[in-house]
Amino acid sequence: MSGKWQLKDHEAERQLFLRRLTIAAAIVMLLFAALIAKLVNLQIYQYEYLSARSDGNRLHSQYAPPARGLIFDSEGALLADNQPIFNLTVIREQVQDMDATLEFLASLISLTDDDVEQFRNRLQRNRVPFSSVTLRYVLTDEEKSKIAVNSHLLAGIAIEPQFVRSYPLGALTAHSIGYVSEVNRRELDSLSEEQRENYGGTNHIGKTGVERTYEQLLHGTVGYEIVEKNNRGQVMRRLDRTDPVAGKNLSLHMNARLQIAAEQALGEFRGAIVAIDPATGGILAMVSKPGFDPNLFVTGISSKDYSELVNDVVNTPLFDRSINPYPPGSTVKPFIGMAGLQHELVDYEFAIQDPGYFRLPGVSYRWGDYTLRTAIGGGHGHTDLKKAIYQSCDTFFYDLGHRMGIDTMHGFLSQFGFGDNFTLDISYARTGVLPSRDWKMESRGEPWYPGDTVNSSIGQGYMWATPLQLATATAIMANKGQVVQPRMLKAVDGVPFEPVTDNPRQDISVSDPDYWRYIHESMTMVVHRPYSDVFRDYGTAFEAIAMADREMPYKMAGKSGTAQVVGISQEILSSEDIEVSDLNKDHGLFVSFAPSMHSQIDPQIAVAVFVENGEHGSSVAGPIAKAVIDTYLLDILELDFAELDRQAEAELLAADRMVAQSND
Amino acid sequence: MINQDFGRQTTSFHALKRHGAKIWRVLHTDPPLLVGILLLCGFGLFVLYSASDGDEVMVRRQTMMMVVGLVVMFLVAQFNVHFYRRWAPSMYAAGLGLLVLVLLVGEVVNGAKSWIDLPGLPRFQPSEIMKFVVPMLLAWYLASRPLPPRFKHLFWSALMIALPVGLIVLQNDTGTAIMVFMSGVFVILLAGIRWRIVITGLIAGLLASPAWFVFLAQAHQKNRILTFFDPSRDPTGAGYNIIQSQIAIGSGGVYGKGYGNGAQSHLDFIPESNTDFILAVLAEEFGLLGVLLLVCLYLFVLVRGFYIAYAAKDMFSRLLAGSITLTFFLYVFMNMAMVSGLVPVIGLPLPLISRGGTSVVTLFVGFGLLMSIQTHDRKRYS
């Protein structure tokens, strides 16, 4: 402890301390100067840059998706609506541990592996950072409250309301209206740069049917809003907003009541019905049965539901029968007859003696009469064109077709839309086959044989047509050659829609307009020519239609058809659930328009009915067509045929009086 | 024993009134220092109100803390500084004991085992006490030795520093350890330690730092240092705080965005916006001018501290006043430099502005000691 007692020079020590204190003060000032320099650098020289970074932190431009246009039927009933649902969404950037969070959520609400898988797929897609991705659609109230209670444990998880499509008629419009579903990568890639921008806030896009055809009209224009978000991505304020422009509301020619009636008329059968307004070509009803619930697809169909739909090889609910081709069978006979008249291969007097079969010159093979397979043998006897139509005499048409040749047949029938897509807005409809020499050479590599013509003349062989095509051809027939092109869309936002087509079809002109009346009469006799003492001289559909309903206030023209089942896949044959014999049954077809042969009113509706494995055209498909026509004429148009008939009578009387007066 | 001058001063009350300023000597309060402190406190509460998004409860609690601090300062100032000199070794020994006790029965808060809850006392951090006890002890030790200090005195001084610092490091409270260490080092520097020793020490420190970085530094410390050199290394993780606080400061510009309009802080982009990073809020809302005002207020307090050290009558008072002032400066500078990106992130609050408990009281103890040095007459005590 010697140091403690050493002599201290207090003044020297004070001077030493003060020197040190001065140095310390100088260092303090230096350091403050450095600090201020740093702040000046940040707040003056880097101000612009850091200011922009600050705005970039908080200001976000986000899309305001437009409301999708609604779809109405011709009477204003909703076919496609927008309904609010509540979705569980995730902002990935804010979730600490995705697996743990998903596990926790699964303990709160039902969350299938499927949901999780779809969610992970959505995460894979290109997306804006801090945007929300849907984990599960359509939360129930109970699930919403469970999430809300646990929200403090669920960072990055939110419940977001969303408007999604709903289809009130469900399976009834699954094929014709189609459905929307989540936009996929491929669809996004196919959009132009501008369109992609427009889809920035949109999750759904029309996948099939009207929803797809008129996607552009229905979608609308995206809006934008500038929002201020905090560090957790919550929107604090809306600073600027460009409102989205809602999609256009579409009105269709389709009539919901008729659509329902058509679906019910098919009963337990699989099949398709297409009804067209001959005046406009507007599609009044278009049913393919069985359908499926399109609402399932809107919020992401589960793979279980989807595989059920896909694996149902018998009912094939996803398959749209109304626009897929089948052999049209005898339903083509009126058109071939018309071709015969126009090309003067037959006239009103021409008749054959039908032995019940047809033989090509020099060929021993006999083409039998299918319609007589179960009848008592022999032919139809003396048969003219009219009888050949209402009795559906194959032999007559074998002969006519053979004499006509495939080139004439092809040329004439193509005017009715066979082998072609006449529609204005159903681009995805199949064209079927209207065979020709070129077609056969191209697709089969074989020349055309005369026997092919014989088969084609009764709508078998290579000839294939869709129910939609049959309805179209029937409508043109009802119009006496004035071509109408089938269309779904009637009006956009209440303004009548006039589609532009770059390929307008020519009206069919025939040398004598009376030919139309003649065919109309023949087709009317299919339904209305009663049984008589004369052997085989009744309409094939008389019993099933006119006889079944003797009170029928109007006349309808029709033609039945039966199409052979062409091939059944091995898969179906090996299935144990169904009786294969049922699937081997012929398809029943019926084309019709009504009212026919009416002096006061033109045909109002043309219908094609296709009944899969229905076995008979006239007895099975015929009454179905009549039910559809009844609903349209009597319930929907509410035509008063008694009154119309009275008018017709009065006119007739007046005309008679005129004739009588002029004779005086 | 409290204020033995009291009787004399009160009896000559009228004489004192004539020299109006002398009343502050009676109260043992230094008016310039008090004004500086009060202005800083006021400014701090004003900024905190905005930084906490108008959380009145928080602001009220902070106000209470400051009032407690002022009372503590006033009480500390009533004792003659040589009373503290006498008791310095005992306080040091008691402090060491508490530090050991903390290691045994302390509570862990924010990863540091530094809190102790003794019966009959409010919960406190013994390491805070060391912030003024260590310079007090060193000043006591060196003031009575010939200056500049000899090597053996330096050795004992170093040991006096190393003991508590080591114990605090064991608590895992590096920030406090550094401050305690520096408060002791300031005494030695002011006591006139030879420059060649200082420079040798600096060089040794520099040479040792890579070794420290490789072998001793903990992961988060390495991270902070790497981030300091390249904030964009991990912009959403370790670099996030410093990037966001620089954005806040820079976007404030010269005039600031206006009180309560700091988007960075109000939208929660600045973490710890009412504690360590409160300067970012201030700079964003009041701009460069606001920061300069703050610097001026601090300078005012510092200059007064330097003056008190300069004017002190004995070496103990000089060394203690100098060390307290420099420690206060170190706090201010380290925080401001860290928030503006001049030094790596160290978890230190901005004195009198940041929200905080014990550390506020410690600061006021320091101010109390300064006032005691300024207002007591040494001769009267001895």
CB proximity B6 to A under 8 Å: no
Average pLDDT for residues A535-553, to the nearest whole number?
Answer: 89
Give CA separation, B148 vs A20, A27, A580, B152, B154, in Å: 11, 20, 114, 12, 10
Spatial distance between the Cα atoms of A609 and A554, rounded to a whole number of angstroms: 19
CB proximity A237 to B under 8 Å: no
Does A421 map to a domain? yes
> Which of A8, A24, A35 lies at the smallest CB-CB distance from B340?
A35
CB contact under 8 A, A24 and B326: yes
Output the CA torsion A392→A395→A397→A401 (10° steps).
Answer: 160
Task: Give the CATH number of the domain where residue A455 resides.
Answer: 3.40.710.10
Q: Are residues A134 and A196 in the same domain?
A: yes
Give the tens place of pLDDT for each residue, A134-155: 888 888 888 888 888 888 888 8
Q: Are residues A246 and A359 in the same domain?
A: no
Q: Are residues A200 and A349 in the same domain?
A: no
Contact criterion met (CB below 8 Å) for A280 and A253: yes
Average pLDDT for residues A392-402, to the nearest whole number?
Answer: 92
User: Who has greater pLDDT, A600 or A371?
Assistant: A600
Per the structure, the count of domains in chain A is 3
Spatial distance between the Cα atoms of A481 and A514, rounded to a whole number of angstroms: 12
Range of the domain at A420: 256-486+506-647
Supply the residues of A annotated as catalytic. Answer: 330
Contact residues on chain A for B253, CB-CB shorter than 8 A? 43-44, 47, 51
Q: Are residues A154 and A173 in the same domain?
A: yes
Contact residues on chain A for B337, CB-CB shorter than 8 A? 31, 34-35, 38
Three-state DSSP at A268 gives coil
Q: How confident is the model at residue A664 (pLDDT cuts 50, 70, 90)?
A: low
Report the DSSP beta bridge partners of residue A134. Answer: A89
Contact residues on chain A for B147, CB-CB shorter than 8 A? 8, 13, 16-17
Contact criterion met (CB below 8 Å) for A395 and A352: yes
CB contact under 8 A, A49 and B250: yes
List the 273-302 stretch of B: residues with Cβ below 8 A of A. 283, 287-288, 291-292, 295, 299, 302
Q: Which two tokens stand for residue A616?
A: 């008979």
CB contact under 8 A, A43 and B315: no
Three-state DSSP at A135 gives strand
Q: Are residues A153 and A90 in the same domain?
A: yes
Does A535 map to a domain? yes
Give the tens place of pLDDT for each residue, A278-319: 999 999 999 998 999 999 998 878 888 889 888 888 888 999
Which residue of chain A comes nearest to B295, CA vs CA? A32
Which residue ranges of chain B lie beneath pLDDT 70? Answer: 1-21, 236, 357-358, 378-382
CB contact under 8 A, A54 and B336: no
Calculate the CA A310 to chain-centre distance.
Answer: 18
Q: Between the ranges A108-112, A135-139, A276-280, A350-354, where is the mean pLDDT highest?
A: A276-280
Residue A41 carries which DSSP code? I
Contact residues on chain A for B329, CB-CB shorter than 8 A? 28, 31
Q: Are residues A313 and A399 in the same domain?
A: yes
CB proximity B318 to A under 8 Å: yes
> Which of A20, A38, A51 lies at the smallest CB-CB distance from B253?
A51
> Which of A13, A46, A57 lies at the smallest CB-CB distance from B250?
A46
Q: Are residues A65 and A114 in the same domain?
A: yes
> Which of A16, A24, A39 lies at the smallest CB-CB distance from B249?
A39
- Which residue matches tokens 């995705």? A98
Please tell me the predicted confidence (pLDDT) of residue B2: 54
Q: Are residues A323 and A465 in the same domain?
A: yes
Task: Give the CATH number of the domain where residue A203 resides.
Answer: 3.90.1310.10
List the 113-152 stretch of B: residues with Cβ below 8 A of A. 144-148, 150, 152
Give A75's Cβ-side CA count (13 Å radius).
11
Q: Are residues A357 and A389 in the same domain?
A: yes
pLDDT at A56 over 80: yes
Query: Testing the interface with A: which of B190, B194, B308 to mutate, by most A Cβ within 10 A?
Result: B190
Q: Are residues A24 and A148 in the same domain?
A: no
Among A31-45, A221-235, A531-545, B53-67, name the one with the lowest average pLDDT.
A221-235
Spatial distance between the Cα atoms of A488 and A275, rounded to a whole number of angstroms: 11
Does A658 map to a domain? no
Residues 6+ away with beta carbon under 8 Å from A117: none
How many contacts (CB atoms, under 8 Å) link A and B?
145
Question: pTM for this structure?
Answer: 0.71
CB proximity B198 to A under 8 Å: no
B11: distance to nearest CA of chain A, Å?
A: 34
Does A9 map to a domain? no
Average pLDDT for residues A229-239, to the nearest whole number?
Answer: 76
CB proximity B329 to A under 8 Å: yes
Does A404 map to a domain? yes
Three-state DSSP at A591 gives strand
Does A500 map to a domain? no
Q: Are residues A270 and A217 in the same domain?
A: no
Please tell me the predicted confidence (pLDDT) of residue B164: 95
CB contact under 8 A, B189 and A38: no
Spatial distance between the Cα atoms of A645 and A504, rounded to a whole number of angstroms: 37
Give the tens place of pLDDT for each residue, B187-245: 999 998 989 999 999 999 999 988 888 887 877 788 888 888 887 777 767 778 888 88
> Which of A13, A18, A55 lies at the smallest CB-CB distance from B310?
A18
> Which of A40, A49, A228 lies at the smallest CB-CB distance from B267?
A228
Give CA separation, A450 vs A399, A407, A437, A605, B52, in Å: 11, 11, 11, 36, 95
Give the tens place of pLDDT for each residue, B33-72: 999 999 999 999 999 998 888 888 999 999 999 999 999 9
List the 39-68 stretch of B: residues with Cβ below 8 A of A. none
Does A654 map to a domain? no
Q: Are residues A312 and A210 in the same domain?
A: no
Does A664 map to a domain? no
User: End-to-end distance of chain B based on CA atoms, in angstroms?
Assistant: 12
